[in-house]
Chains A and B, each alone.
Chain A
Amino acid sequence: MTTKSFGQRIKRNEDPQLLTGRAQFVDDVHIPGMLHVAFKRSDYAHARITGIDLEAAKSMPGVVAVYTAEDLGDFWQPSPLLVPPPPAEHVVFNKRTSGQLARSKVRFVGEAIVMVVAESRYLAEDAAETIIVDYEPLDAVVGLEAALTEDSALVHEDVGSNIGAHVIQRKGDYDTARAQADLVISRRLLYDRGTAAPMETRGVVAHYDHLARHLTVWDSTQAPIPIRNGLAAMFGLSERQVRVIAPFVGGGFGPKVMMFYPEETLVPWAAIKLERPVKWIEDRLENFYAMTHERGQLHDSEIALTKEGKILGVKDVFLHDTGAYIPYGLTVPINTQCTLLGPYVVPHYYTEFKALFTNKTVVTPYRGAGRQHGVFVMERLLDIAAKELGMDPLELRRINFIQPEQFPWCNEIIYQDFTKLTYDSGNYEPVLDKAMRMIGWDEWRQNEQPRLRAEGRKVGIGLVMYVEGTGIGPYEGARVQVETTGKVTIVTGIGTQGQGHYTSFAQIAADALGVPMKDIYISTGDTGQFSWGVGTFASRGAVVAGSAVYSAAQMVREKALKQAAEHLEASEADIELVDGFAQVRGAPGARVPLATLAASANPLRGAVRPGTEPGLEATAYFGPQMGTTASGAHAMIVEVDPETYQLKILKYVVVHDCGPLINPLIVDGQVHGGVAQGIGNAFYEQLIYDETGQLLNASFMDYLLPTSTDVPRMELGHEETPSPLNPLGVKGAGEAGAIPVGPLFAQALEDALIDSGLEILEIPLSPSRLWELVEGGDA
């Protein structure tokens, strides 16, 4: 074991199970006697419930129970607030979260009203269909500006308006900066709704063992430990009586972190009450309505510059669509505020938002989590400013970069982890230079593009920059143990949805302990194995849990060295751990297997020295003082078909700096997937609501996920600026691919359609929207 596995492109430990169809997802859990759930959901976006007729449903064969909000008794309660509002300068926050089933009023299409439990899913759905709900329809709150008008209907009457939150943050004094500016650019920018659409929908299975008084819940969640803690409190059980398992999860991307979705508490409740195991698996239609969405924001933004192109300040006032409730606090709009500043020196910044209640599905973080909106605003303003100043857009970016010696760089406003937004490290010029080289910027501009344009082809190039706050606290933990077989077990609590944690965590431990990758077993996302932790979100798994694995593995290493030194009668400093053995450096005969050390650390008889801890094992926690800041550039060359306005991406480049890479293969995969989602978000995916709040395209036929023919081959480049904030120096990589794609499309498409003088101020686009903007006079 001389090769270091950190930094290697190692294929993943978890794959054989997945490739052979032998990995357990929630819907694969089968327990004898299991019942199945279907929900009757609201057909209206906004209506009072005046009656519910359950007669037919209750008498259907195979139906075991039918519950409305009334039937839940004291168990009915609004869900807790997952993230409290941050301690910013000006914060108004009107907490409104939903109960498990709608009681007197429905606030979005798809809100659950009745739960049916039956012997099979087919029977449960049959019964749900017979339920008749009488509604008194109310005007729906759909548009953001309309939500603020005097005569708008109110999603929550008791709030007195549709304002869920109002936050003002500032750095310096924007008004004074603006007064000194040579150029001020003001624009209105729109970023519309999309959905994460993981290939696996949500699902919950619950089993209460009445003899053992123990509740087991399988949940496709990204955050099993908080769910366990919440369920235990809710059912009056000890945390040790509840085990939540997030088995293999078929994609999460953010919306699988909630506290709680109604179904996550109702299913265990029914399992306890009915003394039978209960399963609910979301179908795709429900997923469109009832899994949280993201992205609706309307910005009025301006940037003030000198005539040399130096940024003096930015002002951004926006409306954020939070949907019918606000259970996740303000993470998304706060991310928008913070990420907008990008890699640039912005001395003065005024940022204000109102989060608005609307009669639409709830909004919570989805990959990027508000960051892309901020990047869209800033990069668009810079592009427009460059045109006005007659400057090269990349030069304009370059002269405003924060310089490497200026880190740590504090932007003063409050970030989603409640600390002042501070960039730990970065070096932006090499990222820009590499992206320009890889896309062939100069050659394209000088030769290629003029040649193609002369042929009449509509071709354009774009390049945008971003930073991304990743790897936030509070903390994660890990336990590393050498078993008496010499094999190593690592347990953490975070849960994994395809990010390859099984492999990257094993790589970290393999290096510390000198054991082969194949001898490392990982358990993640099972609260029965590890009791502390927060979850997988905000590109934090590798950073926070990875660092905890590192620390625990180092502690085990020290124990092993100490024991081996005694055993081999050598000095600790001379011991090395290689291939599952502790050996004396330079004396290969003098060695002892880790297995033997592990066994002797766990004696079955005899006495040990006082104070001895058994086992070759350690538990460590890691809590960073603040998040790490990754950065990057995306560039692309695009061609627009002048007839159909369909696109062809001719080249796509990503240069990304997330510090040292634990496993470049996995990071590349994360970036590829992020870009694909970004492309969907920029050009294909848009949730369309009509004026009554009906979602018009709730199927994969009508909501277009990018396919293999839409996503181009991507070329990736890496820079590695280490973070000083964790022992591995790593930064998060999970979301970077998705963040800057919108403004990149806007820039490249404007360039491709340069004759039209088009200015793109909205995302997502589509061929027809692009046509409208250019030809339809609807710009």
Chain B
Amino acid sequence: MSHEITLTVNGHAHTRTVEARLLLSDFLRHELGLTGTHVGCEHGVCGACTILLDGVPVRSCLTFAVQANGHEIMTVEGLGHDPENLHPLQQSFWESHGLQCGFCTPGFLMTLLPFLQENPDPSEQEIREAISGNLCRCTGYQFIVDAVKLAAQKMGEPQP
């Protein structure tokens, strides 16, 4: 059973006909070619597939593409793509060595973006709780926590 859907991804409108069962993660990755969103478990635990749906972090592996009909999606590709001019959150992950293999990273970034908007000055414990739904097997989380602190600092500064 196919359905026509229209949704906005990173500011661009897309209309596609999709099967009802197509996962949003597969839609983004394979239909739109936005492969920055990663799939680590397909059962809603690892958080690698996290995207923003109308500004709220959502697991795209637990969402059907048809459910995104009429909504606004943001993926990691919408965050900042110029290495010379990264989003302060990306820049902080880079400076703090907040990633190793980088597979989990897009999910962390998309979880953290709204978190930092709501909590501009989080404590270490708050940061750890905010990312406790995202698994990282490489970093032991310490440099991710440091990256979030740095990002909070950078995002608090007046932007040039």
Contact = CB atoms under 8 A, between A and B. Distances in A.
A16 B83 contact: yes
B77 A700 contact: no
B1 interface: no
Interface stretch (B35-43, B62-70, B113-121): B35-43
A672 B94 contact: no
A702 B137 CA distance: 16
B36 A21 contact: yes
Specify the main secondary structure of chain B where it touches its partner: loop
A447 interface: no
Interface residues of B, number: 60
A125 to B, nearest CB: 11
Contact of B132 (A500, A677, A699, A708): A708
A11 interface: yes
Given A21-B75, A500-B100, A284 B140 contact: no
Contact of B103 (A200, A668, A676): A200
A199 B77 contact: no
A27 B29 contact: yes
B86 A673 contact: no
B101 A498 contact: yes
A20 B29 contact: no
A701 interface: yes
A27 B39 contact: yes
Nearest to B39: A27
A250 B94 CA distance: 17
Contacts of A251: 100-101, 103, 137-138
Contacts of B136: 199, 708
A498 B143 CA distance: 14
Interface string B129-150: 1011111111111111100000
A249 interface: yes
B33 A200 contact: no
Given A25-B38, A284-B41, A709-B132, A199 B94 contact: no
A27 to B, nearest CB: 7
B19 A673 contact: no
Q: Which of B93, B97, B101, B136 has the most CB of A within 10 A?
A: B101
Contacts of B93: 15, 19
- Band of interface residues on A: 35 or more
Contact of A713 (B19, B99, B142): B142
A284 B40 contact: yes
B151 to A, nearest CB: 12
A760 B19 CA distance: 54
Contacts of B80: 20
A21 B106 contact: yes
A431 B158 CA distance: 45
Interface string B80-108: 11010010001001110101111111100
Contact of B137 (A14, A665, A677, A713): A677
Given A122-B21, A284-B40, A705-B137, A19 B77 contact: no
Given A198-B137, A669-B139, A709-B128, A20 B46 contact: no
A673 B145 CA distance: 13
B155 interface: no
Given A12-B94, A251-B138, A498-B102, A200 B38 contact: yes
A248 B102 contact: yes
Given A22-B81, A199-B137, A673-B140, 8 more contacts: A15-B94, A19-B93, A21-B36, A21-B76, A198-B137, A251-B138, A707-B133, A711-B140
The 5 closest A-B pairs by CB, nearest first: A21-B36, A250-B103, A18-B102, A498-B101, A672-B140
29 contacts: A15-B93, A15-B102, A19-B86, A19-B90, A19-B94, A20-B76, A20-B80, A21-B106, A22-B77, A24-B35, A27-B39, A122-B22, A199-B38, A200-B40, A200-B103, A248-B103, A250-B102, A251-B137, A253-B137, A284-B41, A284-B42, A498-B102, A668-B143, A669-B140, A673-B137, A699-B43, A708-B144, A709-B129, A737-B140
Interface of B: 19, 21-22, 29-30, 33-43, 45-46, 48, 75-77, 79-81, 83, 86, 90, 93-95, 97, 99-106, 109, 124, 127-129, 131-145
